[in-house]
Structure 1
Amino acid sequence: MVLLANGTLAIRLDQFGRVSLLSFPHVGREVQNRQSVHRIGVWVDGEFSWIDDGSWRLAMRLPQGALVAHTVFKHERLGLVLECDDFVDSKVNVFGRNIHVVNLRTETRQVRLFLHQAFRLHDDGQAIDTAQHVEASRALLHYRGRRAFAVGLRTFDGRDFDRWTVGRFGAGLDGAWRDAEDGELAGCPHEYGMTDSVLGCSLRLAALASDRCTYWLAAGTSIKEALGLHEKTRSVGLVRSLARTTDFWHKWLSPGFRAAQKLPLPHRKAFINSLLTLRAHVDEHGLILTDGSAGNCRLHDAAFALWPLIRLGYGDEAAMFFEACRRIFETDGYFAPAYYTDGEPVATDTAWRQDRPPMRLRDAAAVLFIFCQFATSRVGAERSRQLYQSVAAKVATFLTDNWDNPAADDDAAFVWQLSRAALEQASELAQQHDDPANAVQWRTCADDISTQLAGRGADEVTMDAVYAAYMFGVESEAYQTKQLVSEATRTLAAVDGLFKRRADDPDSSVVASLWLAQYYIETGELARAERIVDLIRERRIAKTGVVNEYSASSVVASAEYVNTLLDMIVAQR
């Protein structure tokens, strides 16, 4: 699976290469095809096959150093290969598929390709969308309110789709996609309700030859916008859009390419693909989709996902994130447990406690800690100045006032260690901003937290405790950290050679294992760290860059993989 996105339009391809998630106009927010997928089907020699019917062999990867998924589908018995280059345009809200159809037989054949799409617009549970064929634009159009999607299909010799229909699904109806299974489409021009549609084109393939067609889906907040994007794509051609998008990602990856050259060859592609995974989850308004299944952003995870980007010299993503944090804190006065990527708080079952709203201190501490990393970085020194008062000062004061009252679901020791480190760095930042009163106040609070932590061991031996001890601990706690690591490696080892996050977890954790690798790098045990990183690359990272993680966000896992490799580069200098 892979997420393709441009900050506004996001497309997730599943293990069959189908569109399993389409969100717009925010990454992960407003899933416009909730509980439905977009299919690809082929009719040849009087037989029909969908790519998810179990008869196709599939391989998906990101081969170009760009957020472009290259998927190869092969059907041995039908003697066909489909090659798809799928992408979301970096500049406009268009999803494109450049499809190459290859005839493996030694005779000329007629092939019909069918592209299906289904929508539940606005993601509000209502089944009142409209779908229709727009002859003048040579498009299929789905729309309701301020959401509209226009779909087109064209052969490389300039022929538009020659078959189409629209229909309904749900309430006992499978959908219009069933109409394609005889190789023909009914040509229904209009439907209202829970709608889907199919368009098809015919290709004549000579013996052992191939042909191409392009498919696109244009998204807009009005019919005019969606049809305008569709007509421009149809006129200019999808190939130019693909070239522009590939060039955009090559340029964005420049700092990553430079760092990758310093890595062992086996890790370079996974490193680059992990960076692409991180960037794909960033919404243009600054928040990061850290929980794809729930469609939300947890600020603690998002802040730490930004750290490797800051280390590599990417400034835009961090600046947008902290601007989003400023807007949230200015509106609410605290950070809620989770947000949608448009900045709206996610509903929570956490109740108010007296006058305390539902919040987790770890989010405030993480935002402050990573802001300080940004403010002291090459790319953030100037950009962070205007956010010092509205983000750093307000969040640090909030932590100072609330650190001794963690939420029930906060790991108190972890939060206190992170808060102490964040406040110590904020105190240094305050001195740079000629803010001596806050510098003293925040340093005093950090000392108070140290007093609270003195003599207190970890509440439980977890890899989170290990991470907090070595990342946010102080020199006087080094011996306790060493003892904790020794106990953790004994009790958290998993059968696959990696490590669990907690003792009662059923599986190993990529994030937990990478945290341990980072500790080994810091203590000079590079060989042990390299063994862990090699195992993760070999067993838990797909060719698309997606990390198979069970106990944390895959976005966080990608970030920690990049962080660990950056630590290795520094250690080997």
Structure 2
Amino acid sequence: MARDLPIGNGNVLVNFDAHYNLRDIYFPYVGQENQALDHLSHFGVWTAEDFFWIDHPELSKKASYLNDSMVTNVECTYNRLGLALLIRDGVDVQENVLVRKVVVENRWDRDRKVKLYFHLDLHLYGNGVGDTVYYDPELKSLVFYKGHRYMSLSCKSGEGVESAPTSFAIGQKELNRLEGTWRDAEDGQLGRNPIAQGSVDGTIELELNVPANSKKEAWFWVCFARDMKEIQKLERSVRASSPHLLLQRTYNYWHQWLEQDRHELSILDEELASFYRRSLLIIRTNTDNRGAIMAANDSDIMKFARDTYSYMWPRDGALISHALDRSGYYALTRKFFNFCKRGLAAEGYLLHKYNPDGSVGSSWHPWINARGEKQLPIQEDETALVLYALWHHHRLAGTLKEAQDDYEKFVIPAADFMTRYTDASGLPLPSHDLWEERYGVHLFTVASVYGGLLAAAAFAEYFQDKLRGMHYRDKAERMKAAVEGQMTAEGRFVRSLYWNEEKRIYEQDLTLDASMYAVFDFGLFPVDDPRVEATMKAIRERLWVKTEVGGISRYTNDYYHQMTKDIEKVPGNPWFICTLWYAEYVIAVAKSEQDLEEAEGLLRWTVEHALPSGVLAEQVHPFTGDPLSVSPLTWSHASFVKVVQEYVSKLKWFRHQQRDREDESDAKLLKQGSVKR
């Protein structure tokens, strides 16, 4: 089930599913150690008439964020029981605390007793072995712990009374047919077992007396810490300042954070502008405070591969950082580049992917080839794109004077590696492609290496390192010439070259691939080159999904989550990033404001196929439009942000040109009038 409404503060990340069940709880890193491990934590309501959980089919929900903030706003109505709930969740921006506000509305003409149940099914350190949960009489909280992972669950009514649950349940689950303490809540009576260990869970109850046609407020919060002293400190802090203050300052903070964006969004209609702001916030939820920008944190994908997207891919991170830098979030992206600098191998390359703590992530790239010979398990574009993005980071932030350490510790070793890792013709040696499926020489990789070498040359020239600058530029130009000689066919560019050992030659792969847009985006060839035009025209015509859903697929006959073998109609599932790459091309070649209409349509297509909350998945079903694979995919949101930035820039330029022409025309008319007089 797709993840929705992510909220976090860079240390804690919480994901909900489509029913607003709490499913993922990451701490102490965004994306590392899922303390819930995709197990459902329930929220329920008891009345004398009936009991229901938040995913009950009779409970209608409208789930979104509260304005432009990282606070959720979920409106629930249960007509048969005459109840309405307003639920708002946020992760505090100063402390590692999840705060939930619940407003219960009694729509009947008589007073009622309503009990709220907050249940946590935790797997501390990402496993359910050896956890403990107990009721702490001083905190009046449930405390979960194992090793250096502690969480507390607390509550209070909105009437200013001391926080305390009216009851609680603690027990075991996942063994001896025990489902968990949430089942204990369904009769409105909790067992009050004081402690349990092993595979455990816990539930707290908060009872409210709600007058006729009135509302009552309730608060729940979860504190995250590494030891009991920190839990006690956090609990005291929440109670002293009140959970209301925490939620309010979180709401205010994200409004202020969005004001850092540099772009003139007033030129857009509000739907696109709001989605742009939402994308920035979702990107931030998947960014750890220590620099790792995570690809996605949807644990539901574990059902298919027993692994997740909760890694920092340098390529994704570089392109996401580039979009953030264009928005003005330099302090945030600075941490990403520091992360990459620490992770760079002594030979000058970055590996496949990394965990949020900086350790090397899992990989399926081998260190030997079919003949048993050593090969590097890398996607070379990942090294090149970090270098490319780093140059633009310093240029946009105005911090080139402070870039000496980056130049010496990242730029030189990375660029030197890229210049060495070439064949006699000047092309990069084989590596894995950006889709992580093929080993060869790929157009996307070549374009990114070209852009990275030019960035390295620009750094060298800034630091008066003239010989290196000349060397890097010479290598880049040789690479460009080799592409012209070996990577074109039928009037367009080709996706890849694969080495044929028997023939001792490279063979061309003519498969159309949306990633071939990189040939102009990273400056390898100008956007008006006829071969670029032919390549992009073929992508639009032959990779467009010919169903009511539309959108552009990755490549012809894409197997990943494939829904049909009718590749003429559906060459692959529509991906947001691929559709937006084509929109980049439309913007780049536009000669008038009218030429931007197709790009605007693709931006609207993106918005229309997001979840109602504004969350973008990796791809969507070609017939239903439902999200597929992980959601949210950070790269999807960053691509939308970048395309909007380019759209706004081009639109402003056209309108300035139009005003200049009008001013010039008015000046001529005035001059003619003065002559007549």
Q: Check the 8 A contact 1:217/1:230 in 2, yes or no.
A: no
**Structure 1: unaligned runs, 5 residues or longer:** none
> Which whole-Å CA distance do the structure 2 matches of 1:216 and 1:110 have between them?
22
> Which whole-Å CA distance do the structure 2 matches of 1:228 and 1:557 have between them?
39
Aligned-residue offset at 1:59: 1.4
Instruction: From the superposition, tell whether residues 435 and 138 of structure 1 become closer, same or farther in structure 2 (CA, over 3 Å).
Output: same
Question: 1:562 aligns to what?
Answer: 641
Question: 1:210 aligns to what?
Answer: 215
> Which whole-Å CA distance do the structure 1 matches of 2:601 and 2:346 have between them?
46
Identity %: 22
Question: 2:237 aligns to what?
Answer: 232
1:534 aligns with 2:538: no
* 466-475 vs 436-445, which moves further: 466-475
CA offsets 1:258-285 (integer angstroms, 9 cap, x no match): 5322322221111110000111111011
Residue 102 (structure 2) aligned to one of 75, 80, 99: 99
> Which whole-Å CA distance do the structure 2 matches of 1:512 and 1:466 have between them?
9
> Which whole-Å CA distance do the structure 2 matches of 1:478 and 1:302 have between them?
29
CA offsets 1:96-149 (integer angstroms, 9 cap, x no match): 1011111121221110001000111111x3510110000011111000110000
SS at the partner of 2:267? Answer: coil
1:487 aligns with 2:538: yes
CA offsets 1:73-113 (integer angstroms, 9 cap, x no match): 21111111111110111111101101111112122111000
Question: 1:128 aligns to what?
Answer: 130
Residue 475 (structure 2) aligned to one of 445, 448, 453: 445
* 98-107 vs 342-351, which moves further: 342-351
> Which whole-Å CA distance do the structure 2 matches of 1:14 and 1:248 have between them?
25
Residue 181 (structure 1) aligned to one of 186, 190, 193: 186
Question: 2:37 aligns to what?
Answer: 34
Aligned-residue offset at 1:393: 1.7
**Within-5 A mapping of 1:301-340:** 301-329=316-344, 333-340=348-355
SS at the partner of 1:335? Answer: coil
Residue 580 (structure 2) aligned to one of 486, 489, 514: 514
Instruction: From the superposition, tell whether residues 257 and 88 of structure 1 become closer, same or farther in structure 2 (CA, over 3 Å).
Output: farther
* 341-350 vs 182-191, which moves further: 341-350
Aligned-residue offset at 1:331: 6.8
> Which whole-Å CA distance do the structure 2 matches of 1:8 and 1:425 have between them?
32
Question: 1:12 aligns to what?
Answer: 15
SS at the partner of 1:325? Answer: helix
Instruction: From the superposition, tell whether residues 510 and 80 of structure 1 become closer, same or farther in structure 2 (CA, over 3 Å).
Output: same
> Which whole-Å CA distance do the structure 1 matches of 2:573 and 2:291 have between them?
32
Question: 1:54 aligns to what?
Answer: 57
**Within-5 A mapping of 1:66-81:** 66-81=69-84
Instruction: From the superposition, tell whether residues 333 and 443 of structure 1 become closer, same or farther in structure 2 (CA, over 3 Å).
Output: closer
Aligned-residue offset at 1:253: 0.7
Q: Check the 8 A contact 1:150/1:227 in 2, yes or no.
A: no
Q: Check the 8 A contact 2:520/2:526 in 1, yes or no.
A: no
Question: 1:545 aligns to what?
Answer: 614
CA offsets 1:216-249 (integer angstroms, 9 cap, x no match): 0000011111222122212321011111111211
1:276 aligns with 2:281: yes
Instruction: From the superposition, tell whether residues 332 and 25 of structure 1 become closer, same or farther in structure 2 (CA, over 3 Å).
Output: farther
Aligned-residue offset at 1:252: 1.0
1:345 aligns with 2:360: yes
Q: Check the 8 A contact 2:450/2:480 in 1, yes or no.
A: yes
> Which whole-Å CA distance do the structure 2 matches of 1:219 and 1:406 have between them?
45
> Which whole-Å CA distance do the structure 2 matches of 1:162 and 1:302 have between them?
46
Aligned-residue offset at 1:380: 4.2
* 217-226 vs 442-451, which moves further: 442-451
Question: 1:435 aligns to what?
Answer: 465
Residue 155 (structure 2) aligned to one of 153, 168, 174: 153
Which structure is larger by alpha-carbon Rg, 1 or 2? Answer: 2
Aligned-residue offset at 1:383: 4.8
> Which whole-Å CA distance do the structure 1 matches of 2:576 and 2:38 have between them?
29
* 10-19 vs 345-354, which moves further: 345-354
**Structure 2: unaligned runs, 5 residues or longer:** 299-307, 423-427, 433-437, 489-493, 496-510, 559-571, 620-628, 653-677
AA paired with 1:548?
A
* 493-502 vs 317-326, which moves further: 493-502
* 261-270 vs 204-213, which moves further: 261-270
> Which whole-Å CA distance do the structure 2 matches of 1:358 and 1:417 have between them?
20
Instruction: From the superposition, tell whether residues 107 and 379 of structure 1 become closer, same or farther in structure 2 (CA, over 3 Å).
Output: farther
Q: Check the 8 A contact 1:540/1:548 in 2, yes or no.
A: no
Question: 1:2 aligns to what?
Answer: 5
Instruction: From the superposition, tell whether residues 41 and 166 of structure 1 become closer, same or farther in structure 2 (CA, over 3 Å).
Output: same
Q: Check the 8 A contact 1:374/1:384 in 2, yes or no.
A: no
Question: 2:656 aligns to what?
Answer: none
**Within-5 A mapping of 1:405-424:** 405-408=429-432, 409=438, 412-424=442-454
SS at the partner of 1:352? Answer: coil
* 503-512 vs 132-141, which moves further: 503-512
Structure number with the bigger relative contact order (C-alpha 8 A, sep ≥ 6) is: 1
SS at the partner of 1:472? Answer: coil
> Which whole-Å CA distance do the structure 1 matches of 2:109 and 2:103 have between them?
18
> Which whole-Å CA distance do the structure 2 matches of 1:461 and 1:308 have between them?
26
Q: Check the 8 A contact 2:118/2:204 in 1, yes or no.
A: yes
Instruction: From the superposition, tell whether residues 308 and 347 of structure 1 become closer, same or farther in structure 2 (CA, over 3 Å).
Output: closer
> Which whole-Å CA distance do the structure 1 matches of 2:232 and 2:115 have between them?
25
AA paired with 1:3?
P
1:472 aligns with 2:542: no
Question: 1:396 aligns to what?
Answer: 415
> Which whole-Å CA distance do the structure 2 matches of 1:535 and 1:203 have between them?
45
> Which whole-Å CA distance do the structure 1 matches of 2:16 and 2:116 have between them?
19
> Which whole-Å CA distance do the structure 2 matches of 1:249 and 1:475 have between them?
39
- Give aligned pairs, total: 571
SS at the partner of 1:216? Answer: strand
Residue 170 (structure 1) aligned to one of 170, 174, 177: 174
Query: What TM-score comes out, normalization by structure 1 length?
Result: 0.96
AA paired with 1:541?
A
AA paired with 1:452?
A
* 209-218 vs 423-432, which moves further: 423-432
Instruction: From the superposition, tell whether residues 236 and 431 of structure 1 become closer, same or farther in structure 2 (CA, over 3 Å).
Output: same
SS at the partner of 2:81? Answer: coil
Residue 226 (structure 2) aligned to one of 207, 212, 221: 221
> Which whole-Å CA distance do the structure 2 matches of 1:482 and 1:392 have between them?
32
AA paired with 1:361?
E
1:497 aligns with 2:550: yes
CA offsets 1:388-442 (integer angstroms, 9 cap, x no match): 2112222111211224222243562211111011101220221001111221221
Aligned-residue offset at 1:477: 7.4
Residue 88 (structure 2) aligned to one of 77, 82, 85: 85
> Which whole-Å CA distance do the structure 2 matches of 1:331 and 1:153 have between them?
51
